[in-house]
Structure 1
Amino acid sequence: MFQTAKLSVKDYQQIVETGIFGDRRIELIEGNLIEVSPETPYHANCNNKIYKYFLTLFNSLADVRSAHPVSLSNSEPQPDLVLAKLPDTLYDTRHPNPEDIYLLIEISYSTLSYDLNEKKQVYAKSNIQEYWVIDLENNRLFIFRYPQGEDYQNKLELNTGLVSCLAFPNVKLEVNRLKN
């Protein structure tokens, strides 16, 4: 019987450093190499607008990171947006790990099922306290909080209004600014 070999995060990082993937968008998810779909202009522009919005709100409170890897126990995804602990020099020699992360956001245009299932499970198992999915196609925001096992105890879906992340309850975000 044949088995698929799983990569560790360390093995994956060593492979990435060789440059063998070139410009291919590859993530390590649960020890497996996953090729990520190319980013559409719409997705990229939405990501850029949300990144700029987060910079205005969180610049002195958190390290706002856009489309960069985070290191989890057996995965190294590249979420669309991350709020991580300061100072940003913490990440000169490593990517943020779960203890550094306040909030992870995936912006979904063609990957909603993947973001709401596989990615959510990976983040919950890694004890990421808060995970948001921005569903561009259906104009909604999914908020997942308080991980337990492979899922989150608290789930919320918003279309409008104001929302705050757990780490910064006094910072109010307009849901409509996240969806377009």
Structure 2
Amino acid sequence: MASAADNSAKNGPLSDTIPPLASGDRLTRPEFERRYAAARNVRAELVEGVVYVQAAIRHQQHGQPHALLSGWLSSYFMATQGTDVGDASTLRLDADNEPQPDILLRIDSACGGASSIDAEGYLTGPPELVVEIAASTASYDLHDKLNAYRRNGVQEYLVWRVLDDAFDWFVLREGRYERLPVTEAGVIQSELFPGLWLDTAALLRGDLAAAIETLNPGLDSAEHAAFCQRLAELRTKENSKDDR
């Protein structure tokens, strides 16, 4: 059996060895980032100081729902200048949380958004909308991660519970998440992003075209036009400050 001295001579000092990431590890964010940078072919998150290493992704339970939601949300982004969309972006949220949301929609910082891109190219601060695909209500997406997003001021949080064939769309009110109402037709409308309408029945049956048809009237609404105008005015005001 090789001794510690033998291993040290072969692989360098043991203190220089970076341990692998493992689900359940309790780490600080700097230590999580150090181990993540050294990892290979691993996707992991830090949620409330606990590491979660993602397992292989199943198509029907995650890959396809992710693609459907990305198509729907990207359609809104393309029609709404002043917003920004992201897929699996690392999010430096606080000292104990560095998740990788499945999808996010944010207001550009030049237009008054709460999140920004730091010097290393990572998102920092709370995006206005975070979207996650979860297996069921047992998922940490609806427990520890939900609390982390709530505490850090993510204004809206959308979760597709795939095994339950259900959506939960939360809005932050006075420090608490409350569910947005669902119409009889199965449509949920964002409060923060005017015109962002989700046809839950269409997405549950995998019909992205129908979901976009439901979204289009929202994009054509007066509320959406006013929102776009407000974002443009905020950007102009911010640019004028930079020119001084």
User: Which is higher, the Rg of structure 1 or of structure 2?
Assistant: 2
Give the structure with the larger strand fraction.
Answer: 1
1:23 CA displacement: 1.0
| Counterpart code for 2:152 | S
Which of residues 44, 57, 71 in structure 1 aligns to 2:76?
57
Q: Does 1:163 align with 2:188?
A: yes
TM-score (norm 1): 0.79
Hey, which of these two has a bigger chunk of helix by percent? 2
CA contact 1:135–1:141 (8 Å) conserved in 2: yes
Q: Measure the CA separation in 1 of the matches of 2:200 and 2:138.
A: 18
Q: Taking structure 1 as reference, are residues 71 and 168 closer, same or farther at Cα in structure 2, changes over 3 Å only?
A: same
The alignment-based identity, stated in percent, is 24
> C-alpha offsets along residues 95-153 of structure 1, whole Å, 9 cap, x if unaligned?
22334x1100111136743221111111112121111111112221111211666xx34
1:57-79: CA deviation from partner (whole Å, max 9, x where unpaired): 22244221112221111211111
1:7–1:31 contact (8 Å) kept in structure 2: yes
Question: Which of the numbers 121, 128, 136 marks the counterpart of 1:102?
Answer: 128
Residue 83 of structure 1: CA displacement?
0.5
SS at the partner of 1:68? coil
Are 2:145 and 1:127 equivalent residues in the alignment?
A: no
CA distance in 2 between counterparts of 1:148 and 1:24 reads 37
Instruction: Show the counterpart of 1:154.
Output: 178
Partner residue, 2:30: 10
Structure 1 gap segments, 5+ residues each: none
Counterpart code for 1:96? L
Q: Distance in 2 between matches of 1:5 and 1:113?
A: 18
Cross-structure match for 2:167: 141
Deviations 1:12-49 (A, max 9, x none): 223323xx221122111122222123211121122012
**Partner residue, 2:100:** 78
What is the SS of the residue equivalent to 1:16? helix
Query: Deviating runs (4+, > 6 A) in structure 1?
Result: none
The count of residues paired between Structure 1 and Structure 2 equals 172
Q: Using the alignment, how far apart are the partners of 2:130 and 2:49 within structure 1?
A: 20
Query: For the structure 1 residues 82 and 131, does the alpha-carbon distance in structure 2 shift closer, same or farther, using more than 3 Å as the test?
Result: same
Aligned counterparts of 2:25 and 2:53: Cα–Cα separation in 1? 17
- Check conservation: 2:89, 2:100, Cα contact below 8 A: yes
The unaligned stretches of length 5 or more in structure 2 are 1-23, 111-115, 207-244
Matched, 1:117 2:135: no
What TM-score does the superposition give when structure 2 sets the normalisation length?
0.60
